[in-house]
């Protein structure tokens, strides 16, 4: 014989205040749990979307990031000659020789400086990055001091709006366009003509080469050949991998932080649930005795109390998750320690996070309710009826 679930529900309703407080505590924990998962997912999403699966990035061996890398012109032309590189509609190879540096720009409003990536682009740069779209103005003319800014930069940094000017490398640069790159890292970059920028910064070398493969399957062979070539000291990575590697430290930091925080917090919430459930059992001793006297099994009592705890957990989980879903509106921008450039990403709610958060809240409810439920079911009928 089972005690109907409505018994558990009504009991929660009867003790509304306590229920509300316990649920609030759990909801906060689930909120933090979900938010950290969402943050890591958001970072991952940004990084994966930044790269196209059939693009290859070549940088100097051991240099870790484009900013630290350097590829001589001679080396660049050797790489451009590789047969695996796809041919574009104009008949030329789909390869972009780019130069990447960081410049310090003051933010709008706060005037605080932050690093912004300036990318010197090649004629194929835009075509190789289908995520990047010009939304305002036009592309910079080759050979001119014109630049375009990512929408995230244009919004937040001084002098980067359309028609505005930036001064660096002893020249004045005019912003002629704004581009939008979804959630990818390019949104936080400024683009200009590679040759012009190399002159201005007096840098005779490229930073990285980006090209499209005509067949992704040929990558490992090409990688082997490039990295084994004695004239080159480079490494080649598929673009998505390249961006993931670049933010490994940040991702790991967020993950460790998230797990640690959640563990500590859940301890608090489980304790809260346990206190509530103990009190629920203590307040209803004679009720338990009555139920047992009527003929309900120990297991039914146990299940009834456990369902009550699980319901508490679930309510907390749903509330916390609902609150966390609003975090999707927030964008975090921070410096990537590995590249010293700005990294902007949003909280992203995935089905896996929803399932994990609800599962986590049920586990909290279960952990908090188990011992009290066992205690309720172990009570002898006579003692329970006598106790008030």
Partner 1 sequence: MFMLKLIFRNVFRHKLRSTLTVVGVAVAILAFGLLRTLVGLWYLGVESSSSTRLVTRNAISLVFSLPLSYKERIRQVPGVTGIGAMNWFGGVYISEKNFFPNFAIEAEPFFDLYPEFRLTDEEKKSFLRDRQGAIVGRKLAKKYGWKVGDRVVLKGTIFPGQWEFTVRGIYKGAQRSTDETQFFFSWDYLNETMRRTVPRRADQIGIYVVGVANPERAAEISENIDILFKNSLAETMTETEKAFQLSFVAMTEAIMVAIQIVSYVVIVIIMVVAANTMAMTARERISEYATMKSLGFKWLHIATVIAGESLFIALLGGAVGVGLTFPFSGIIERELSQFFPVFRVELLTTFMQIMAAVVVGTVAAIFPVWRGSTITIADGLRRIG
Residue 156 near residue 131, CB atoms below 8 Å: no
Residues 66-105, interacting with partner 1 (CB under 8 A):
67-68, 101-104
Nearer to partner 1, 124 or 187 (CB): 187
Candidates 11, 25, 128, 296: give the one binding partner 1 (CB under 8 A): 25
Two tokens at 92? Answer: 């030329």
| Number of chain residues interacting with partner 1 (CB under 8 A) | 55
Least distance to partner 1 from the beta carbon of 140, Å? 19
Candidates 62, 81, 359, 387: give the one binding partner 1 (CB under 8 A): 62
Candidates 342, 346, 348, 364: give the one binding partner 1 (CB under 8 A): 342
Could you say whether residue 268 binds partner 1 (CB under 8 A)?
yes
Two tokens at 73? Answer: 């012109």
Two tokens at 325? Answer: 């879903």
Q: Which stretch binds partner 1 (CB under 8 A): 3-11, 128-136, 171-179, 327-335?
A: 327-335
Least distance to partner 1 from the beta carbon of 335, Å? 4
Q: Which stretch binds partner 1 (CB under 8 A): 128-136, 218-226, 236-244, 276-284?
A: 276-284
Residues 200-259, interacting with partner 1 (CB under 8 A):
201-202, 204, 233, 249, 257
Closest alpha carbon to 46 in 331, 258, 338, 335: 331
Could you say whether residue 21 binds partner 1 (CB under 8 A)?
yes
Task: Give the residues across from 147 on adjacent strands.
Answer: 175, 192
Closest alpha carbon to 101 in 243, 196, 232, 212: 196
- DSSP classification of residue 214: S
Nearer to partner 1, 216 or 323 (CB): 323
Candidates 2, 4, 5, 340: give the one binding partner 1 (CB under 8 A): 340
Least distance to partner 1 from the beta carbon of 100, Å? 9
C-alpha atoms less than 13 angstroms from C-alpha of 219 in its C-beta half-sphere: 17
Closest alpha carbon to 224 in 216, 215, 234, 209: 234
Q: Which stretch binds partner 1 (CB under 8 A): 76-84, 211-219, 304-312, 336-344?
A: 336-344
Task: Spell out, one character per residue from 287 to 306, where the chain touches partner 1: x when CB under 8 A holds, - when not.
Answer: --------------------
Nearer to partner 1, 81 or 204 (CB): 204
Q: From the CB of residue 106, how many other CB atoms can be counted at a distance below 10 Å?
A: 13
Give per-residue burial for 59-87: e unless 16+ CB within 10 Å, then b.
bbeebebbbebbbeeebbebbeebebbee
Q: What is the distance between the alpha carbons of residues 205 and 305, in angstroms, rounded to a whole number?
A: 70
Nearer to partner 1, 5 or 337 (CB): 337
Least distance to partner 1 from the beta carbon of 164, Å? 18
**One-character DSSP codes across 151-177:** HHHHHHBTT-STT-EEEETTEEEEEEE
Q: What is the distance between the alpha carbons of residues 294 and 79, in angstroms, rounded to a whole number?
A: 85
Q: What is the distance between the alpha carbons of residues 96 and 212, in angstroms, rounded to a whole number?
A: 9
State the maximum Cα–Cα separation within the chain, in Å, rounded to a whole number. 95
Point out which residues bind partner 1 (CB under 8 A).
17-18, 21-22, 24-25, 28-29, 32, 60-64, 67-68, 101-104, 112-115, 168-170, 201-202, 204, 233, 249, 257, 261, 264-265, 267-269, 271-272, 274-276, 278-279, 283, 332-335, 337, 340, 342, 388
């Amino acid at each position: 014989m089972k005690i109907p679930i409505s018994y558990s529900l009504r009991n929660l309703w009867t003790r509304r205040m306590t229920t509300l407080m316990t649920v609030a505590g759990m909801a906060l924990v689930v909120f933090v749990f979900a938010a950290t998962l969402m943050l890591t997912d958001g970072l991952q999403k940004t990084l994966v979307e930044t790269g196209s699966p059939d693009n290859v990035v070549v940088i100097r061996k051991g240099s870790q990031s484009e900013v630290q890398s350097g590829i001589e012109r001679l080396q660049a032309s050797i790489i451009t000659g590789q047969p695996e590189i796809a041919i574009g509609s104009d008949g030329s190879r789909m390869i972009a020789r780019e130069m990447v540096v960081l410049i310090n720009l003051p933010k709008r409003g706060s005037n605080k400086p932050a690093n912004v990536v300036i990318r010197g682009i090649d004629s194929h740069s835009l075509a190789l990055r289908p995520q990047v779209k010009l939304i305002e103005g036009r592309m910079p003319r080759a050979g001119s001091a014109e630049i375009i800014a990512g929408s995230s930069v244009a919004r937040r940094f001084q002098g980067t709006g359309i028609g505005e000017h930036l001064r660096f490398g002893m020249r004045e640069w005019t912003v002629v366009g704004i581009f939008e790159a979804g959630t990818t890292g390019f949104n936080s970059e400024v683009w200009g003509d590679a040759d012009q920028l190399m002159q201005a910064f007096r840098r005779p070398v490229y930073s990285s080469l980006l090209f499209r493969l005509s067949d992704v399957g040929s990558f490992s062979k090409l990688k082997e050949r490039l990295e084994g070539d004695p004239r080159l000291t480079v490494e080649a990575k598929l673009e998505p991998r390249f961006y993931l590697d670049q933010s490994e430290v940040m991702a790991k930091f967020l993950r460790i932080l998230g797990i640690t925080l959640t563990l500590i917090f859940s301890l608090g919430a489980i304790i809260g649930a346990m206190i509530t459930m103990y009190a629920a059992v203590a307040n209803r001793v004679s009720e338990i005795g009555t139920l047992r006297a009527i003929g309900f099994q120990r297991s039914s009592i146990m299940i009834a109390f456990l369902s009550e705890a699980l319901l508490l957990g679930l309510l907390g989980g749903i509330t916390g998750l609902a609150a966390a879903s609003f975090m999707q509106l927030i964008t975090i921008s921070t410096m990537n320690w590995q590249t010293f450039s700005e990294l902007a990403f949003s909280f992203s709610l995935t089905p896996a996070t929803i399932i994990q958060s609800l599962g986590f809240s049920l586990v909290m409810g279960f952990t908090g309710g188990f011992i009290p439920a066992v205690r309720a079911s172990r009570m002898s009928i006579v003692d329970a009826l006598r106790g008030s």
